Amino acid sequence: MNFILLINGTYIVAAVLFIYGLKLLTSPVTARRGNLLSAVGMFLAVVVTLLNEEIIDYRWMLIGIAIGGIIGGLFARLVQMTQMPEMVALFNGSGGLASLLVGWGAYHVMPLAGLFVMTTVFLAVLIGGVTFSGSLIAWGKLSERIPGRPMLFRGQTLLNGVLVIVILIGGSLFLSAPETSYPIFLGIILLSLVLGVMVVIPIGGADMPVVISLLNSYSGIAACAAGLAITNNILIVAGAFVGASGIILTNVMCKAMNRSLYNVLFGGFGAVTKGAAAEVGGEVKAISAQDTYYILEAASAVAFVPGYGLAVSQAQHVLKELGDLLEERGIEVSYAIHPVAGRMPGHMNVLLAEADVPYEKLIEMEQINRRIANIDVCVIIGANDIVNPAAREDTNSSIYGMPIIEVDRSKTVIVLKRSMAPGFAGIDNSLFYKENSRMLFGDAKGSIGEIVAEFKNV
């Protein structure tokens, strides 16, 4: 009895740490502490659960902690900021696989359990399997190991519908006689993995961040189902937190990408066929670092718009230095942040916080758009799709209707970019040819460094 009280008491402490940790994640200033507190809560929950020797002995527990700690430490040190979206996809997939295995194990331990338990087992393996295989496809697309474009074929929607119907029929047969339906159970696992692949392959380009947040929610729902299957309170609580927060984030992402939640849930986005997009052309006006200095030095308000290229070049620190030099000259400096800049929500917030950019200088898209006409210079650092006017001007564009930072309405636009290559959505950017746009070609870190040198040499 005392041992049960210890476990449940620790679970309560862990749940409190989860809630407080999530609260701290709402600000870059406290996010690291929130992440640490949540990790401590999960560590306590895992350890107190495994202290029951009926589950596992101490040797295996210590081995698991050591292996997990080493892998986590290596990921934290070696994974680059630009690889974080695909890393999150792998984390989601790992959570889905874990839930699938827990459900599978629960079936072996309790094949004669009641209808409720077997239903949660069915849900755990189904949602876990979809999450695992879908996350692997998302990882492959984001890391460009497989083509990022939508993969479509005739009858794809019909096939997905048939898969869902077959899984539901198989689930009904399994639940009617679980102790004699092991082959059906294995078939459900296999079909769930196939369904995960089929749901994600039609999605590509700029829609992938929405998929990541949705799969994150799926991993939480699968964990919650697994917790119900084995009657583990903290797994139910943690899964519910992840599932709910993932759905909220998915909704935020849908609004940022101008997609409906219905289309996300039923796989109808990223595969929309449009007419031919308008041809992008005109004269590109290149500019030097010295000329960029003259334009910035004469400005009274400058807005930086960071994107994936900022993370690639690791230019956040030199950008902060440039911002400080501008402010020393009385120039108003702000950082315009799009919800999906850098292919992941909050990516740019974290990157700029790393360089000690004050949080109050990070301006959300809606706010900056309201005052962008009064900004003298918008400096685009590695962003592409999130500033592409085609989202507003070209009804046939694949990103038409997507909210963007409307930098083309500012007085002058300076784009820092390596080349004229398209962004993640795979379409040309008409911003580069606008009359008020100038292109500063080269690595962002090097280009900004040259501008900083011009300021210091005065």
Q: Residues 6 or more apart from 323 whose CB is under 8 A from it?
A: 304, 333, 335, 357, 361
Contact in structure between 385 and 431 (CB atoms under 8 Å): no
Q: How many residues does the chain have?
A: 458
The neighbouring-strand residues paired with 362 are: 335
SS3 assignment, position 426: coil
DSSP H or E segment with residue 50: helix 31-50
Q: Which of 207, 356, 376, 385 is catalytic?
A: 385
335 beta partners: 304, 362
Residues ≥6 apart with Cβ < 8 Å to 339: 252, 253, 255, 256, 345, 364, 365
Q: Beta-carbon neighbour count of residue 113 at 10 Å?
A: 17
The 3-class SS string of 146-210 reads CCCCCCCCCCHHHHHHHHHHHHHHHHHHHHHCHHHCHHHHHHHHHHHHHHHHHHHCCCCHHHHHH
Are residues 311 and 342 in contact, defined by beta-carbon separation less than 8 angstroms? yes
Is 356 an annotated catalytic residue?
A: no
Q: How many CA atoms lie within 13 A of 446 on its CB side?
A: 7
For residue 181, CA distances in Å to 126, 187, 230, 431 come to: 16, 10, 20, 59
Q: What is the SS3 assignment for 15?
A: helix
Computed on alpha carbons and rounded to an integer, the radius of gyration of the chain in Å comes to 25
User: With contact defined as beta carbons under 8 Å apart, do 173 and 188 qualify?
Assistant: no
Q: Are 189 and 100 in contact (CB under 8 A)?
A: yes
C-alpha pair distances (Å), 98 with each of 128, 215, 219, 305: 8, 14, 9, 39
Beta bridge partners of 336: 363
At 117, which amino acid appears?
V
Mind telling me the catalytic residues? 385
